[in-house]
Each structure stands twice: as C-alpha cells, then as structure tokens.
Amino acid sequence: MKVLVTGITGFAGSHLVDYLLTIPGVEISGIMRWRSRTENIEHFQDKVRLVECDLRDASSVRDAIDQIRPERIFHLAAQSFVPTSWTAPTESLITNIIGQLNIFEAVKKLGIKPRIQLACSSEQYGMVYENELPIRETNPLRPLSPYAVSKVGQDALGYQYWMSFQIPIVRTRGFNHEGPRRGPVFVCSDFARQVADIEKGRKPPVIRVGNLDARRDFTDVRDIVRAYWLSLEKGEMGEVYNLCSGKDWTIRAMLDLLLSMSSVKVKIEQDPARMRPSDVPVLLGDASKFKKATGWEPEIPFEQTLRDLLEYWRAR
C-alpha cells in the first residue's frame, strides 16, 4: 500500500514513519521542503521516497501527488507552534489551511480517492468550561489563537470535502503529544532541555517558564502515531475523533515530575515573553469514541514519555 506522509521531517511525521516501517507491505513516501532539516529522518532516509514540494504551491502539490499516487495520506505538515501564530498569523493560516486545500484539490483533480487523515487539534476547543470536562467531539469550538482558528478551518474543510466530493477523510483532534525529537519550543521539550543544559553546566540553575497553571492532557507521540494509522484502517470516513489519554496535568506538575528525574536544584522564574495573549486554560479529553471504533488504547505512561524526552536532550 502506498502511503504519503506530509511533514515527514517533523516530530510526529518521523515517529509515524518509524511505526509504518513495522507494517508489512507499506511503501512510504514523504514530501518535504527543500530547506527542511533532516535530522529526524536520517535513520530511515534510505527506506522511504522523498519528494520535494511546498504545500503552499498548488502546482507543486499536484505534481508530487501525481508522482506518488498514494492510497493513504497522513497530513501532518503544519505551522504547529501556537505563539508563532500570533507573530505570523497570515503565514500560519496560509500554511495550515491553504496547504491542506491544495492537497484536497490535487486529489480531486487527479480523480484519486486516497483515505486522508487530518491532524486537527484539541486547541480548536479553546475556551472550555469545567462543566464540559472531559471534552467530547461535540463540544463547541471556541478557538483562542490564530493557530486554533487555522485548525478549525482545516477541520471544517475536511468535513466539507467529504460531504461534497466523498473524499474519504478522517479528522483526528490530537491533544498534546510528547516524546523524543519534540521541537525545543514546546513546553515539555523546552523544560527538559533546560534541565539537561543545567545538568551539563551550560546554563545557570534557573528554569524559565510561562503559565504553569494551564492543564494539558499528554499522550506519548508513539501512541498517537499508532492512532493515526488506525484512524484510516478502522475509523469511519467523514468522522472526527479525539486522541488523548484522559488525564490532565498542570504544567507545574509536569515540571515537578521532570525535576524529580534529575538531581539539579533549580530556581523557577517566570518569563513574561512566555505568556500568551490568551492561553487555553484546560484541555482534558475523552477518547472513548475513537477507542470504540478502533480498539486503540494509549500504552506508554507519561512518566516514561518525559524520561525518554529528558534522555533525548541529555544525549545531545
């Protein structure tokens, strides 16, 4: 089966390929921009086909999809860091919404019907009230950042292209996922890197933080990519599914857990630059719809995820 992964050089994309390589009969292609960093894919680069393509350029997307003729598309490429969407809102919306639209239009014009998984996000729920927890797919969407709006747009387009053209699309709303290779700007990775730097004496023993009161539902990226695969194998086309662990952590509790894995003594300092104009206070999800459809269960405890992430930074 021919599988295309967009965002193959990224965090989730590279973990998805690690997983796909364990499934017999899967032929993997990835699209990447020519300047993309390749450190996450060096270990499997000779086992996949890489095609250069900028998702924001419709003709380049059509050419790439025509060459690959995929039967499955995992659409993971995106501008995925929430704070960047405030400094570069136009670029974030173009990359995320128009980039995806270009895939849909390419598939439509080529007359092919690959199953497509869209990496939508729990950020779409945005402002969630305590009496709405845990969040189900039916919760209202109250996005609090341009990034979240871009994901609402991707999600809505996915629904619309399924309804209008029967392009077989499954939307997964992933809650926070972490693990080795996580980009250094995201909170678990940022804090783990700071701890590793302090351990090596590369930085004074001060951890710089933003809003520690936010609550997030963390899942290991390796469990999430398995869910991506299952979403197209066992999920119902046209549907939307939450992917989450069903347990929330305050960012403070996550930091405490991380610090318990190290012997360094640190001071914690709030950095005003790390505060957001509107931060999503709580994301705690209910994945029962997806579990029922596919039999998926997250397997890796968050403690293990954080430990692996810390080891990743210690080794660098």
Q: Which residues bind ligand GDD (CB under 6 A)?
A: 80, 82, 121-123, 174-176, 185-187, 190, 209-212, 214, 216, 251, 274, 276, 279, 283
CB of 191 to ligand GDD, least distance (A): 7
Choice between 2 and 252, CB closer to ligand GDD: 252
CB of 220 to ligand GDD, least distance (A): 13
293 burial level (CB within 10 Å; 0-12, 13-18, 19+): middle
Q: Can you say how many angstroms the Cα of residue 165 is from the centroid of all Cα atoms in its chain? A: 26
CB of 313 to ligand GDD, least distance (A): 15
Choice between 19 and 81, CB closer to ligand GDD: 81
Q: Which amino acid is residue 26, in one-letter code?
A: V
Going by C-alpha positions, the residue among 60, 94, 65, 58 that lies closest to residue 79 is 94
CB of 218 to ligand GDD, least distance (A): 9
Q: Could you give the CA distance from residue 205 to residue 23 in angstroms, rounded to a whole number? A: 44
How many other C-beta atoms are found inside a 10 Å radius of the C-beta of residue 106?
A: 20
Choice between 23 and 185, CB closer to ligand GDD: 185
Choice between 272 and 295, CB closer to ligand GDD: 272
CB of 195 to ligand GDD, least distance (A): 13
The angle that helices 187-199 and 302-314 make with each other, rounded to 10 degrees, is: 50
Cis omega before residue 70 (within 30°)? no
Choice between 152 and 283, CB closer to ligand GDD: 283
